[in-house]
Amino acid sequence: MAAPSGAANCEDFAEFQEFLRVMRTIDDRIVHELNTTIPTASFAGKIDASQTCKELYQSLMDMHTSRERIIKNCIAQTSSAVKTLREEREKAQDDVALLKQLRKEQTKV
């Protein structure tokens, strides 16, 4: 199962969650994946179970690595935005809109 195309949008939290949900599909369907990967007794001679299990494992690891990279990237982006907003907040402490934006970004992190 391949990773979804495109990059995760860290700005829209709901869209980011949906992107991660799609990337979890192989994990959510692991029983089905195992049932279709490991051959039954009648197909044992026709399919290399060891190789198909290795391929499934590699697919899982690739997906986990991709998800981890995307999550860490969004955390870094949002943390950077929080840092910038904090610096701006120090300069303009009376700006309510800036405070709301800062709180929103802090909640995302």
pLDDT 10s digits, 56-67: 899 899 999 999
55's tokens: 């391929």
Mean pLDDT of all residues in the chain? 84
Q: What is the mean pLDDT of residues 18-31?
A: 88
Who wins on pLDDT, 87 or 42? 87
**Mean pLDDT score, 58-81:** 92
**Residue 85 one-letter amino acid:** L
Kindly tell me if the per-residue pLDDT of 42 is higher than 90.
no
Mean pLDDT across 32-41: 76
Is the model's pTM score more than 0.75?
no
Report the candidate in 69, 87, 75, 85 with the shortest Cα–Cα distance to residue 23: 69
Q: Cβ-count burial of 31 within 10 angstroms (0-12 exposed, 13-18 middle, 19+ buried)?
A: exposed
- Which pLDDT does position 2 carry in this prediction? 44
pLDDT recorded at residue 95:
87
